[in-house]
Amino acid sequence: MLLLILALPLLYIVLASAVVWFVWKHTKSKLYRWLAVAIAILLPSWDAVLATIIYHCGCPFVAKSAIYETAETEGIYYEGGYRDLVHTVQNWHGNQFKVIALADKDFEKGFQYLEALVTETKDTFYGKRAQVSPPEIYRCIPRIDPKQPSEIFSECKPVKDIRSGFVVKTERKKYGLISMDSIKIYNRSTNRLMAEYADISKSPYTGMPYYPFFTWLNWDNGEYRSGTTKFVSCPPKDEFWNFQYTVLKVRK
């Protein structure tokens, strides 16, 4: 499969060169000649070219980071992308428990719990997703393995009520190689907006080899993308993953 993927760009270069040569030989029109060259060059990578233009033009208008109010809390409640999926894992002792991605990050910051509105579930980490209807509220608490006290694990269970007085709403929109993430943090008792954040990201390398070769067709089903994708973000992506911690502090 890898050899086939590596051979496809070479095959396209040969075919595209033959088509361009045919057009140049059978027409004297400069418009048609250079149009054939432009199509041959842009056809496999027009999405990367367009994404680059959108990213640089959109950065000054999309990027935003504003904090109007801060607060202290023992835990954070999330709604939206990145924390809306719960899956089952198994520890070294064979015990199974449910976890939510990024929960450990909250515990490392010192929060006592994490709550999230779960809309999808997976029986295993690599299993198929299933919709949760209606969505359920899960609460995660830290668990420490006595044999490995330096490592913090999370255990998540469905609950009926929300304990946190604040909600972090995240949203992710993806258009080809462009993705936009946003965060809005509210005081749940007053519904007052406390802070908001937005960024725009672009993936310049999304296939094998390191070149955007017909990725708009999703021809490799993303199989070779995870290890080669290098996102650039405006602002830097670290700000997105840590924005809520600058607004909601650990209550001491």
Measured N-to-C along each axis, helices 2-26 and 30-42 cross at an angle, to the nearest 10 degrees, of 170
Mean pLDDT of 112-120: 95
Six-digit token string for 112: 């006592």
Tell me the backbone φ, ψ of residue 16, rounded to 5 degrees.
Answer: -65, -40
- Please give the Cα distance from 47 to 50 (Å, whole number): 5
Six-digit token string for 226: 């995870």
* pLDDT tens digit sequence for 80-111: 999 999 888 766 566 677 889 888 899 999 99
141 close to 111: Cβ distance less than 8 angstroms: no
183 close to 196: Cβ distance less than 8 angstroms: yes
Q: Is the pLDDT of residue 5 over 60?
A: no
Buried b (16+ CB within 10 A) or exposed e, 189-224: eeeeebbbbbbbbbbbbbbbeebbbbbbeeebeeeb
The pTM score is 0.79
* pLDDT tens digit sequence for 169-210: 999 998 878 899 999 999 999 999 999 999 999 876 544 444
218 close to 40: Cβ distance less than 8 angstroms: no
User: Residue 204: its pLDDT value, please?
Assistant: 62
Q: Which residue has the higher pLDDT, 224 or 191?
A: 191
Residues in contact with 213: Cβ distance below 8 Å, sequence separation at least 6, in sequence order: 8, 9, 12, 44, 45, 207
What DSSP assignment string belongs to 98-152?
Answer: EEETTHHHHHHHT-SEEEEEEEEEESSTTS--EEEEEEEEEEEEEEEETTEEEEE
User: Residue 208: its pLDDT value, please?
Assistant: 46
User: Residue 84: its pLDDT value, please?
Assistant: 93
User: Residue 4: its pLDDT value, please?
Assistant: 55
Average pLDDT, the chain: 83
- Please give the Cα distance from 212 to 204 (Å, whole number): 7
